[in-house]
Amino acid sequence: MNKIKTGSKWDLNGKYVIITGATSGIGLAAAKAIAAHGANIGIVARNDAKANEIAKQINDLSGREAVVDVFLADMASQQSIRQVAEVILAKFPRVDVLINNAGALFQNHQLTDDGIEMTWAVNHVGPFLLTMLLLNRLKECAPARIITTASHGHKMAKMGINFNDLGAEQLYKPLKKLTGGPTVRYSQSKLANILFTAELGKRLEGTGVTSYCFDPGLVATNFNQNNGMLASATMAVMKMFSRSPEKGAETLVWLAETDEISHQTGQYYADKKVELPSVPARDMKAANRLWNVSKEQTLLTDRFDL
Ligand SMILES: NC(=O)c1ccc[n+]([C@@H]2O[C@H](COP(=O)([O-])OP(=O)(O)OC[C@H]3O[C@@H](n4cnc5c(N)ncnc54)[C@H](OP(=O)(O)O)[C@@H]3O)[C@@H](O)[C@H]2O)c1
């Protein structure tokens, strides 16, 4: 386990937390809890009206002035992420916690404007880029934390990330698509979350910025409602066996607020405990390769070398 030195006792009170995917499900439940625990929050969302309504709700609940700010960005668009990072950096002197939570699964093969397969773009490339762009600010505010919502579903990517098919052309071929190719793609993106967390933790050792990811369990949210009637019906059945968003957000909120993990970094958590992820998720050669590939996919220059 990587150890890291941090300063004084960690406490959420007065901290500034940036969170993606807080307009629904796990992220929304986490944002409410984190605000209730004394932090100020920046919601990064693509839906202006929804985000502002949620900001109003949380502000009203907190009884404090301007607890929540809204930043607009589509996590599938690198231009949008670059713009929002600029706004955050210009407007706020502090970012103490970054939570990469937005995520989705796409049943049909789609490319983003940047030419990247959509599930991979939203779940891994977008969070990678946002993290890199906010990293100096997190370092300036150290001790600081980066938390990424991964999934037990990463275990379905049994062969790891297929670096020879980053566009997932193979997984979306008709027969593969019928037999779960898009789900494997989603699993690869969640595996990427774990490898990214581990590699980031390693590269940030000694900076006071720590990196964690977690599995929320099976949670009743709006997840997979963008893939037609069959997917929605499947999710409706699964909801009967799922946790509430509040329960699903518990480990995320704990990672954001507990002092117990201040000296650890790079780990995967479930139910507030370190958990061993799959063998491919512990492959640090793949983590390093993923880092380099992600830099290429986001056109980040060597200025961002850690
Ligand atoms: N539900 C589960 O059982 C489960 C299990 C393991 C892991 N997870 C992970 O948990 C995270 C949250 O998912 P959830 O279950 O809470 O699903 P959800 O209710 O569908 O919430 C997803 C959030 O991500 C946002 N989002 C999606 N695509 C985006 C984009 N292109 N740009 C900006 N924001 C975008 C959504 O915004 P809109 O409101 O605008 O759609 C929403 O706020 C995901 O990373 C998912 O992989 C979920």
Residue 306 lies in a domain: no
Residue 164 lies in a domain: yes
Residue numbers annotated as active site: 186
Which residue do the tokens 């690869």 mark?
A: 188
Give the confidence band of 262 by pLDDT, cuts at 50, 70, 90: confident
Phi–psi pair at 73, nearest 5 degrees: -160, 145
The answer to whether residue 3 scores a pLDDT higher than 50 is no
Q: Sheet of 209-215: strands edge to edge?
A: 68-72, 40-45, 16-20, 97-100, 144-149, 209-215, 267-270, 273-274
Residue 160, domain extent: 2-298
CA 21 to ligand 1: nearest atom: 43
Reported as a single tens digit per residue, the pLDDT across 40-67 is: 999 999 999 999 999 999 999 888 877 9
Answering whether pTM is above 0.85, one says yes
Phi–psi pair at 163, nearest 5 degrees: -70, -15
Which residue do the tokens 């589509």 mark?
A: 74
Amino acid letter for position 30: A
CA 22 to ligand 1: nearest atom: 43
Q: What is the pLDDT, as a whole number, of residue 63?
A: 82
Measured from CB, residues less than 6 Å from any atom of ligand 1 are: 20-21, 23-27, 45-47, 50, 74-76, 101-104, 122, 149, 151, 153, 216, 218-219, 221-223
Concatenate the DSSP letters of all residues of 169-185 into one string: TTTTSHHHHHTTHHHHH
Residue 221 lies in a domain: yes
> Which of 43-47, 64-68, 113-117, 268-272 is least confident?
64-68
- In the chain, the percentage of residues whose pLDDT exceeds 70 is 97
Contact by Cβ (8 Å): 147, 212: yes
Rounded CA separation 57/63 (Å): 10
Contact by Cβ (8 Å): 150, 211: no
Residue 280's contacts (CB-CB under 8 Å, 6 or more residues apart) are: 157, 158, 159, 160, 161, 191, 286
Residue 46 lies in a domain: yes
Residue 28 lies in a domain: yes
Residue 212 lies in a domain: yes
Give the confidence band of 8 by pLDDT, cuts at 50, 70, 90: low
Residue 258 lies in a domain: yes
Mean pLDDT calculated for residue range 3-26: 83
Q: What is the pLDDT, as a whole number, of residue 303?
A: 74
* Counted domains in the chain: 1
CA of 48 to the centre of ligand 1 (A): 16
Residue 305 lies in a domain: no
CA 77 to ligand 1: nearest atom: 31
β-partners of residue 274 are 269
Residue 269 sits in a domain whose CATH number is 3.40.50.720
Rounded CA separation 118/105 (Å): 8
Q: What is the pLDDT, as a whole number, of residue 62?
A: 86
